[in-house]
Amino acid sequence: MQLSTRTKILHITIAFTMIFLLIIGIYMSETETFSLYPLHKSIGVIVFLFTAFRVLTRIREGWPKVIGNASKIQLAMAKIVHWGLITLTVLYPVSGMMMSGGGGHGITVFGLELLASNHDDISGKTIALNETISSIGHNLHETLVPVLILLIVIHVAGALKHHFFDKDKTITRMFSFK
Which architecture does CATH list for 5-175? Up-down Bundle (1.20)
pLDDT at 109: 98
**Residue ranges covered by each domain of the chain:** 5-175
pLDDT at 1: 58
3-state secondary structure 9-66: HHHHHHHHHHHHHHHHHHHHHHHCCHHHHHHHHHHHHHHHHHHHHHHHHHHHHCCCCC
Question: Please, what are the averages of pLDDT over each run of 10 residues along the chain (178 residues)?
Answer: 85 96 96 96 98 94 84 93 96 97 97 96 94 98 96 95 89 84
pLDDT at 3: 83
pLDDT at 123: 92
pLDDT at 176: 86
